[in-house]
Chains A and B, each alone.
Chain A
C-alpha cells in the first residue's frame, strides 16, 4: 500500500517506522529535514522536506497514486487543509487527520465530503485519555483495550507474588473462568510466548491476555488479582490536553485531583473542570503530595510532556504510598527501563495512537487494531463477509479455520451479542471476529483470510 504520512513528530515518526517494516511504500513529509534524515537512516522510506499542506509538496510526495494520506502535523488546520488538497486535487481515497481541538471535534457535520473531506479523525489526546480511563476503571489490569465499540475488552494481567495461581496449572484458570464470557488468548513468560497448554505451570511475572465481554472484564481481573478494591481517588500530574481530558471524564465517578505547575493553565483548569481539585505546583513537591494525602491515593498518573519528570514523579508517588502509579513515556527505551518495577504501568502514546491508525491500513474489513508488546503482537477485530464459497471463514467452525501459528480467536460479536469462541462455533457473514496474534508478521495471512476472494466465484 502506498501511504503518505505528513508530520514526522513522535506519532508520525513511529507510525512510519512501524508501517515501513510491514512492506508498505511510505513517504514521510516534514519541514524538519534533520528529523527526516534520522528516520530515513532507520527504515526504508522516502522523505520530502516542505510544508505538509502545499499542493506541490503533496504532488512531489506522490499524492496522485497514493492509497492513503495520514496528516499528523502539530497543527489541526494544516492537517485539515492537507486532506482537502489531497481530496480536491489528487483524489486520494483515504484521508486520516489528527484533530486535537475539541471545538472542531464537536461538530461532526464539518467533516463531510463537501466541507472538510476527512475520512477518519484521530485525536491522540483522546485515545490516550480513554486508554488511561480504562486502566483506572479496571484496577489490577495492565492493559484494557476496547473492541466492537466497547462490547468486548482485551485485558492484560500479570501474575503477582500473592496470587492464588502461583505454581498452579493453567487448567485451574480454565475451570475458574468457565462460567464467564472470557477466554485466555495468549501467555508470555518474560519475552517468550508460551503455548496455552492445560498443564503449563504459572509463575510469578507471567503475563496473561484475556478477551472478554465488557461486563465480565471486572470479574476476570478480580479472580486473577484477588480482591483489588475499586479505584476511587485519582491524582493526575500534568494538566495538559491529556490530563484535562482524563479529569473531565473521570470527575463524575472518581475523586480527581490534578497537579499543574503553570499558574495560568491551573486557573483555566479550575474554571473548566467542575468537581476536580486543581492544585498549582510541582508534581514532585513532596510536602504538597503529603498535604494532598498521596498515601491514600489509589492511582497516580503522571501525564506531562516530559518523560523524565513523569518517571520521577511517579516513582516518588509510589514511594510515598500511592497504590498504583502510571506514567506516560514517549521514549521506547525508557519503557523497558521502568517496567522492571519502579512504576506499575508505562503508557506509550505512540502505541496507543498507532493502533487506531492501523485499523485503516489493514486490508480486509478490519475495524479495530491494537498494537501490543511493543509492536510485536497485535489484537484485531475483523468482519467476515461473503459466503462459504467466497470466504475462507464464513460457514466454517472455528476448529476448521486454518489460523496461522500463534493466533487465537477470543470472541465473536454477532449483532449485539458477544459470544466467546468455542471450537465448534460456526462463523457467519457480518460476524465481528476478535483475535490475538502473538506474531505480528502473520497479520498478512489474517488479512487474506478475511478478504472476500473473487477467484472463488
Chain B
C-alpha cells in the first residue's frame, strides 16, 4: 500500500467529481431556483478544495499503482464519492434530511441501486432532482470503466471470468491493447446510448428535462425518477417500451456492445451464451408473469398487462427498479418471483447489479455436471460456455462468490430483523440493496424513508457490497491485505 499514490488518486477523483456539481447548478439557474448557488456552489468549492489539498502535496510524486492500491481506489470511488455526494442534500434548504438519509440517497445513486428516502419528489427543486439522476449516471459510468477496464486487473468482478478463463467471443477483457483506449471506447458507447435513450424518451412524449433525467437512470440501470409515481407518472405505453429496450441493452455486457460496434455485426449477440441466457430468462419470466396476470384477471384490457408485465419484469430482472405499477400488490407469487429474478441481474460488464448472468449460468452448468457425474462415475466432464471449456479455478471462484453472497445476505437479514423490521420488509430490502435493485416489498415498496438509521446504514453497506461484488470490499477488511 502506498499512501501517497492513493492520496494522489483520491485528490484527482475529488477534483473531477467536483465538476459534477456544475450541471445541476446550471439547471437550477435555468429554472431560477433560489438557493442553487449556496447549495451546489458551496458543494463544488468544498469538494474541489478538499481534492486540491489532498492532491497538491503529492503533485511531484510519481509511482505506479500496485495491485493492492487498486482495491483501495476502487472501494474509495464509491465510499468517498458517496460521502461527498451527500453535500448538496445537506446544504439545500428545500431538502430536510439527516446525514444517514443523504448518505443513503447518495450511495443509492452512485451504486445505481435506485432506492430512495426522499418523498414528494415532484415538489423538489429541479437542480436536486437532476443531481440525483446524474449521480446514477456517474455511478454507471464508473462501473463500466472500472469494472470492464480496471477490476479485471485486480482479478475480481464478473468480468474476470472473461479474462483468460472463459474465452467466448471476448478472449481478453482488454478489448483494445491499451487500457485507456478500452475505457475510452466503452465511455463512447455509454455516452451514445444515453443520447439515443434521451432522444427516444423525448420522442415518446417526455419533456426535455424528464427525457434527459430518465435516460441517465435507464442506461445506468439505476431506477431514480423525477416523479414520486416513477414511470407510472407518464402513463404512456410508448415511454415504457423505450425504457424496456434500453434497460435490456444496458443490462448486457458493454464489452459485447463494443465488439458488435467494432465488427459491425449484430451476430455477436447471438453467439454469446451469457446474452442468450439473459434474454431467455427475461422472456420466460415475462411469459410466467403474463399468464398469471391473465389467470387472476387483474387488468381490464387484454393488451394492458403485456406492457406492464414486460416492463416490470425487465425493470426488476435487470435490477433497474423503475415501476410503472405497484407490482407489490400483484397476485400470488409474482412479487417474490420478480424480486428473486433480480439475484441473477445483468450480464458481467454491464451497469446491472445482482450476481450476474454468467455466474448463474456457470452454477447451473456445474450443477448439471454433478448430476452427470453421478450417472457416469468415471467420466470426465468439462463445464463449457459457448463450446469453450471453463477452468475449474473459475468454477471454484463462482462457488466462493455464491457462498459469500449468501453469507452477507443472511447476516444483513438478521441485522435488519434485530432492528425490528418485519420479515417481508427485511427480506426484500436486503435483496433490493444487495442486488442494487431499488424498490422492495412491504414497507419499502415505495421508499425507504420510514426505516430507522441502523437499518439504513446496514442497507448502505449492502449497496456497496453488491456494487463491489463483495470480495473487493471484504478483502480490505482482512488482516493479510494490510500486511506488507
Contacts and interface: CB of A to CB of B under 8 A. Distances in A.
Contacts of A417: none
A288 B372 CA distance: 15
A247 to B, nearest CB: 13
Majority SS at the chain B contact face = loop
A267 B376 contact: no
A319 B343 CA distance: 53
A267 B380 CA distance: 6
B376 A269 contact: no
A269 B387 CA distance: 13
B376 A292 contact: yes
A271 B376 contact: no
Interface string B362-386: 0000000000100011111110100
B57 interface: no
B380 A269 contact: yes
A274 B376 contact: no
Most chain B CB within 10 A, of A270, A271, A277, is at A271
A280 B387 contact: no
A443 to B, nearest CB: 46
Contact of B380 (A274, A278, A292): A278
Interface string A251-277: 000000000000000110111001001
Contact of B381 (A270, A288, A291, A292): A270
A431 B387 CA distance: 44
Nearest to A266: B380
B382 A271 contact: yes
A280 B381 CA distance: 10
Most chain A CB within 10 A, of B379, B384, B387, is at B379
A289 B61 CA distance: 69
Contacts of A278: 379-381
Contacts of A446: none
Contacts of A271: 382, 384, 389
Most chain A CB within 10 A, of B382, B384, B389, is at B382
A274 B384 CA distance: 9
A279 interface: yes
Interface in B189-237: none
A266 B381 CA distance: 9
B389 A291 contact: no
A266 B389 CA distance: 13
Contacts of A281: 378
Contacts of A292: 376
B380 A270 contact: yes
Contacts of A266: 380
Contacts of B382: 267, 270-271
A279 B387 contact: no
Nearest to A272: B389
Interface residues of A, number: 14
B379 A279 contact: yes
Nearest to B389: A271
A119 B189 CA distance: 50
Contacts of A269: 380
A199 B384 CA distance: 61
A275 to B, nearest CB: 11
A171 to B, nearest CB: 51
B389 A280 contact: no
Interface in A361-377: none
Contacts of B379: 270, 277-280
Contacts of A279: 376, 378-380
Interface string B294-337: 00000000000000000000000000000000000000000000
Contacts of A277: 372, 376, 379, 381
A288 B378 contact: yes
Contacts of B384: 271, 274
Interface string B257-273: 00000000000000000
Given A271-B389, A274-B387, A280 B380 contact: yes
A175 to B, nearest CB: 49
A270 B376 CA distance: 13
Contacts of B372: 277
A288 B378 CA distance: 7
A288 B384 CA distance: 25
Contacts of B378: 279-281, 288, 291
Contacts of B377: 291
A127 B102 CA distance: 73
Contacts of B381: 270, 277-278
Nearest to B381: A270
B376 A291 contact: yes
B82 to A, nearest CB: 43
B165 to A, nearest CB: 13
Contacts of A270: 379-382, 389
Nearest to A259: B378
Interface in B414-465: none
Contacts of B376: 277, 279, 291-292
B373 to A, nearest CB: 11
A267 B392 CA distance: 11
A270 B383 CA distance: 9
A269 B378 CA distance: 14
Nearest to A269: B380
A178 to B, nearest CB: 48
Contacts of A291: 376-378
A107 B380 CA distance: 31
A152 B380 CA distance: 39
A273 to B, nearest CB: 9
A277 B377 CA distance: 11
A60 B372 CA distance: 59
A281 B379 CA distance: 8
A302 to B, nearest CB: 18
A279 B380 CA distance: 6
A154 B376 CA distance: 38
Nearest to A288: B378
A279 B381 CA distance: 9
B278 to A, nearest CB: 22
A43 B384 CA distance: 53
A309 to B, nearest CB: 18
A277 B380 CA distance: 7
Contacts of B380: 266-267, 269-270, 278-280
Nearest to A291: B377
Contacts of A280: 378-380
B397 to A, nearest CB: 18
Contacts of A267: 380, 382
A292 B376 CA distance: 7
Nearest to B372: A277
Interface string A284-327: 00001001100000000000000000000000000000000000
Nearest to A267: B380
A341 to B, nearest CB: 30
A240 to B, nearest CB: 16
Nearest to B390: A271
B369 to A, nearest CB: 10
A386 to B, nearest CB: 51
Contacts of B389: 270-271
Given A266-B380, A278-B381, A288-B378, 4 more contacts: A270-B379, A270-B380, A271-B382, A274-B384
Interface of A: 266-267, 269-271, 274, 277-281, 288, 291-292
20 contacts: A266-B380, A267-B380, A267-B382, A269-B380, A270-B380, A270-B389, A271-B384, A274-B384, A274-B387, A277-B376, A277-B379, A277-B381, A278-B381, A279-B376, A279-B378, A279-B379, A279-B380, A280-B379, A291-B377, A291-B378
5 smallest CB-CB distances across A and B, nearest first, come from A271-B389, A270-B380, A270-B382, A271-B382, A266-B380
